[in-house]
Each structure stands twice: as structure tokens, then as C-alpha cells.
Amino acid sequence: MNRRNFLKGASLLSLGALAACQTKEAVPAEPVINTNKGLGLQTYTLGPELYAGNLSDNLARIRKMGIKNLELAGYNADSHTIGEVSLDDFKKAAEDNDLKIVSSHVTPGVLMAGLFARPGAPAPKPKTFPEMKPEVIEFWKPVAEDHAKLGCQYLVQPMMPPMGVTNVEKAKQFADLLNASGETVKATSGLQFGYHNHNMEMAKVSETSTASVLGDLFSGLRDGQIIEDLYMDNTDPANVIFELDVYWTVMGQQDPVEWLTNRADRIHMLHIKDRMVLGASGMLNFKNIFDKFYANGRQYFFIEIEDTNSGKQFERLEQSALFLNTSDFVK
Amino acid sequence: MKRRDFLTRIGMLSAAGLMGNQTLQAASRETEVAKRFGLQVYGLGPELGRDLPAGFKRLKELGYSTLELAGYNNGSIALFHEAIDLLDYQKMAADAGLEVLSSHVRPPIREYTTDTIPQLREFWKQTAAGHARAGVKYLIQAAIPTVRSVEEAQRVAKAYTEAAQIVREEGVQWAFHNEANVCSRVLPGGEESLFLLSGRYPQGARMIYDILLEETDPALVQVELDGMALILGGCDPVTYLKKYPQRITLMHVKDYENLGESGMINQENIFRQFYANGQTDYFVEDENAMSGKQFERIAAAADYLLKATFVK
């Protein structure tokens, strides 16, 4: 006798409480939605949707999902704006909606200068890291002041020049740049400087390599050193903290949990990211990641979803926030 | 509320008619024994070969039900141990209650050309016959041959379909297993496969895995999906499970290190999709074969599967 027939026979099918038990697999009770956790959002996620209509209304929508902390993107050092919005207006809109601006992603323009040539134009020769150091230091001073006004705690550099680090020496030079940036930011404003990784930092270099290579694939540089390790080992922990992007770590063939274990002292924040909507792919075990992160005594993480021009970012963010709000491993 | 608690509360747990009910068993510990999972024997390294009957018995006790072999050569299995006739090997496994379901083989040719493909045909015919004799259901190509261009990938795809046809004529199902390198891309007329860390692939670049899936005969060629290997290649296993529900009939279950402990594979989502596809057979794989502690690791993997609520 199958279950349904048995239950019919027992005249129990009409019991409302059984409705959830009808399928053969054990169906868990309705998940509990808790919107009172410490969710954070990297605002880059929303692309143009963040500014469509009214910023304050959009921030209200974000807050309603249970998001409390923001990490900004789109700061413009020339116009002193976030997106097109003045710092004061952005700050007020966030405060009005009970959102805390914790962090902001900013890249010194000189880092990428010469890497992206206009079509048809010869690419200018990029400066070396030591050559750009004075310019980078000067860049951060007003940026740090602006962000102090925003009430921000962290200023995070989100990337390095793609393919710009080809050997150990260049990795150390880049680390020196990070160190000097962190020192400047702290001295100017008291803010903490950090670095955010993609997959390229998880590639390996050696003293003599001419390109970085991912370690486990295709026998690469098995004895090389991982660029992210070189950054961590060659920066002062007081000057540079690390924001681990868990998805890009996986895309770099590395285990985020292993990094959180070995570098508990250096990784202060996370980017919580998946292939698209959080929790839908087969590529990340968020429970193990959050468990380790909290065990390390950390709290700030920011949701990030790519494909920012999709027009569906609010929808994807709502699904992602729901995943975190119904996952009991997220605090 | 848990089902078992609910049933207890409404006073139904004692109803005799319910005791045989599968739903109820799902909440009980007996079901753990009923879970059916397998092992790719390579994972035990030299530890299995020391005493096969004792090793098989131990595996059965740990909860394993099926085996996928490695090391087939000319009618025998030689894997960290002296060659044993496949029939003898299979009998020893059967005596311990283990079913030899599948076998990984590596064709002796790395370059598939018009000159070498006839040799491949002969290899598959003989290998399939050897496995058919022992009633092994699946024959798996463990790794892809050299692929440097779209044309080479297409030639390989054609050879895969042909292999699957030859193997099926012997009554065995052919499938291919992936390593991370199937996620690299190739170009028409290319001279090497590409795997980029950033930026865009040149126009016309195609992933080797996609070519092998799209350009083989779906009625003949099946797939054993290695999720961890795909992730190392930057691919999402769930995407492929959704796209090829009937072709991915087997899986390798593994993790970066210990099963269930890393942050870089979502076993639950993978299992759920595999079951949703109607598939059931998978093998634990552990690549640390030479650790000397493989039985402990394989036991821990079994423990993980027995405890995981999403594993049937």
C-alpha cells in the first residue's frame, strides 16, 4: 500500500497538517525566514537598477530584504560622487533607510592605465608598480577623506592589473603598493585599507616565470607561489586586510574554507557570491564557509551578483537574500 | 516538525501497516544501510590489493555496495597488485556482497588520428568483450585524449560515438569521465587548448566538454560527471546535470580534500539534481591513493554519505 492510499484509508488526508507530508520525500517544514541578520550588499550588484527612479526607494527595498550593511562601488574621485549622486545625498539616503555604509571599493586609475587601449590606438606602455607608487599614494589621500565623511570603516581595492603580475618580484612590488596605500589611508583618515581578490590572485608565479598559472590544472607551476599568499606575506597586517571573494577563490581552484583556516588573521571580510543566484549552483558550500568565518570572529560579508546590466538584479538579489535569510548558518 | 515526530504524535507509528512504508524508513537509521553507493577502487591505492577478500568485506561493512574498477588489462585487473582475472576479481567482490558495476579504462592511444583510430576500434571491441564476460554494466573512458583544436575535439567526439557503438554491441554501456581539462577551450584550427584567468576567449572558442556532449550520439554516449573536476575547471556541475539529465547516468563523488569539508562544492545541490534526473549510481573517488590512510578516508566518506540527509 502506498502512503497516500494508507492515509486515505485512515481518513487523515484532510488534516491540514499533513498537507506538507504528501510527497514521498520528507518535506521539511516551511523554512523560517529571518530578516534580522547581518546581511551586507556590494552595491555594484544592482548596476543601473540602484539609481533607476529614486535612490532612497531602492535602498528601502534593499533594507526590507534584511540587508543592513553596504559596501559601495562607483566612487568617482574627480566628481566626489557615488554613481551620479553626491556623497552627502548618498549618505543621507542610506541613513534614512537604516543602512550602514561599512566599506567601499575604489581602484586607482593609474593601475589600469595603458591596459585597455582604444581600438586602433597603440597601447601606451604601462608604468611599473614602483614607478606608479607616488601617484597611487597621492590618489588615496582625498579618497580616504571623502570616505571618512561617508562614515565608512573600510576602503577596499578590488583588483590588480590583469596579467600584470608575472613573477615573484612583481607580486612583491604590488604588495608594496598595497602596503603604502594602506598606510596612507590609515594616516589620512583612520580607515582600514583592504584588498579584494578575483581568480587571478590564486594563480602561481615563480622567480623566473613569465606568466602566472593556475596550480592544479594542466600541471602548471606546481612549485610556484600563489600570488595572494605573496600579497599577504609581504604586507603589514595593520595596513592591509583581505576581503576574500569566495566565488573567485573557487574559480582560482582554491578552497575558501582552507583560506579562512590558514589566514584567519588576515581575512576580515567576505564577498558572498555564486555563479548567479546564491545557493543555486553546485560550486560552493556556504555552510562550511560561514561556519569558519564566524569561528574566526568576523562579521562583515557582502552579497555580490555579476551580470549587472541584466535588468533582473533586484529579483536575483531578493532570491539570494532569501537563501541567506532561510539558512540557519547565517547570522 | 520531523515526519517521524509527527507520525508518533498522531499515534500512527505503531500501526503495523506503516512499518514497511518507505517514507517512514527515511526517518529511521535502517535506511542508512539501504543507501546504495559505490567506490572507485583506485581510491584505496595499494591498501586494497594487500588482501582483496578482506578489503572487499571491509568495504561492505562500511556501507559500500558497488565498485568501479580501474587497472583493466587484457582480461585481468592489475591495480597496485598482481594481475587477477576479472572473473575471479568479480567473484571475490560478489562473495563480499559487492557488485562490480563499472570499469575505468585508458585507451593506449593519446592522439586520435585516421591512422590510430582503427587500433582504438580493436581496443574497445576486446575490452568490451572482456567486461561483458563478467557482466560489468559500464565501461568508462577515464580521460580525454589530446585535444588542441575544434577539429580534433570533433574527431574525438566521432571516435567516442564509434566506441560507444562497438561497446554496446557487446552488451556494455560506454561513458566518458571528465577531468578539469575538459573545461578548457579550443579554436578552429587551433594549436593548443586555452584556459584563461581573465578576459574573453577569442571568437569561435568552444569548451571541449561542450563539443564532446553536443557532437556525440546522445543515444549511445553517456557521461560520468566528476563535479569536483568540473569546478576546478570553472564549470558548474548543476548546470550540466540540468542540461543533460538523461546522459549523465553516473557520478564521481569527491571533494577538494575530505568529502563534505571544503567550501568549494555543493554536494547537496548536485545530489538533488542527480536524483531529480532519475539517476542513482555514483562512486566515491579519492585521489590521495598513496596516503597509506585510504581505508580511514574511504570510511569517513561512507560516514558522510550515510549521515547526509540529501543522499538516498
Q: What is the pLDDT of residues B225-250, one digit of tens each?
A: 999 999 999 999 999 999 999 999 99
Query: Under DSSP, is residue B253 helix (H, G, I), strand (E, B) or coil?
Result: strand
Residues from chain B that touch A254, judged by Cβ atoms under 8 A, are 264
Mean pLDDT of A256-280: 98
Kind of pairing, strands B99-105 and B138-141?
parallel
B233·A217 Cβ contact <8 A: yes
A282·B237 Cβ contact <8 A: yes
Residues from chain A that touch B227, judged by Cβ atoms under 8 A, are 282
Rounded Cα–Cα distance for residues A51 and A56 (Å): 9
The residue among B198, B206, B301 whose CA lies nearest residue B255 is B301
The residue among A138, A234, A243 whose CA lies nearest residue A184 is A138
ipTM of predicted assembly, 2 dp = 0.88
B261·A29 Cβ contact <8 A: no
Residues B59-74 have pLDDT tens digits of 999 999 999 999 999 9
State residue B22's pLDDT score. Answer: 38
B197·A214 Cβ contact <8 A: yes
Cα distance from A137 to chain B (closest Cα, Å)?
A: 27
A6·B18 Cβ contact <8 A: yes
**Region of residue A199 (left: phi > 0; alpha: psi -120 to 50; beta: else):** alpha
**Phi and psi for B227 in degrees, rounded to 5?**
-60, -45
Suggest the residue from B185, B253, B266, B272 to mutate for an interface test with chain A (most A CBs closer than 10 A).
Answer: B266
Rounded Cα–Cα distance for residues B198 and B203 (Å): 15
In order of A263, B162, B174, B215, the CA distances from B118 in angstroms are: 54, 11, 18, 20
Residues A47-100 have pLDDT tens digits of 999 999 999 999 999 999 999 999 999 999 999 999 999 999 999 999 999 999
Q: Is the pLDDT of residue B18 over 80?
A: no
B21·A212 Cβ contact <8 A: no
Mean pLDDT of B142-146: 96
Confidence label for B6 from pLDDT (cuts 50, 70 and 90): very low
Strand partners, B85: B76
State residue A30's pLDDT score. Answer: 79
Mean of per-residue pLDDT scores for chain A: 90
Cα distance from B303 to chain A (closest Cα, Å)?
A: 18
Q: Angle, nearest 10°, between helix axes B86-95 and B52-62?
A: 40
Residues B194-228 have pLDDT tens digits of 998 888 899 999 999 999 999 999 999 999 999 99
State residue A9's pLDDT score. Answer: 35
Rounded Cα–Cα distance for residues B204 and A259 (Å): 36
Confidence label for A330 from pLDDT (cuts 50, 70 and 90): very high
Facing A199 at nearest CB: one of B197, B239, B269: B197
State residue A217's pLDDT score. Answer: 58
Which is it for the CA torsion B52, B55, B61, B63, positive or negative?
A: negative
State residue A165's pLDDT score. Answer: 94
Confidence label for A112 from pLDDT (cuts 50, 70 and 90): confident
Facing A256 at nearest CB: one of B12, B26, B263: B263
- Range in A79-93, B26-40, B107-121, B149-163 the model is least confident about: B26-40
Contact present, A180 and A173 (Cβ < 8 Å):
no
Confidence label for A17 from pLDDT (cuts 50, 70 and 90): very low
In order of B117, B160, B173, B210, the CA distances from B163 in angstroms are: 10, 5, 10, 18
Q: Is the pLDDT of residue B127 over 90?
A: yes
**How many other CB atoms are there within 10 angstroms of residue B48's CB atom?**
25
Q: Which residue has the higher pLDDT, A216 or B137?
A: B137
**What is the percentage of chain B residues whose pLDDT exceeds 70?**
89
Confidence label for A228 from pLDDT (cuts 50, 70 and 90): very high
Q: Which residue has the higher pLDDT, A218 or B209?
A: B209
Residues A298-312 have pLDDT tens digits of 999 999 999 999 999
- Range in A180-184, A261-265, B114-118 the model is least confident about: B114-118
Residues from chain B that touch A246, judged by Cβ atoms under 8 A, are 263
Rounded Cα–Cα distance for residues A191 and B288 (Å): 45
Q: Is the pLDDT of residue A3 over 90?
A: no
Facing A283 at nearest CB: one of B27, B181, B265: B265
Rounded Cα–Cα distance for residues A190 and A185 (Å): 7
Kind of pairing, strands B206-207 and B185-186?
antiparallel
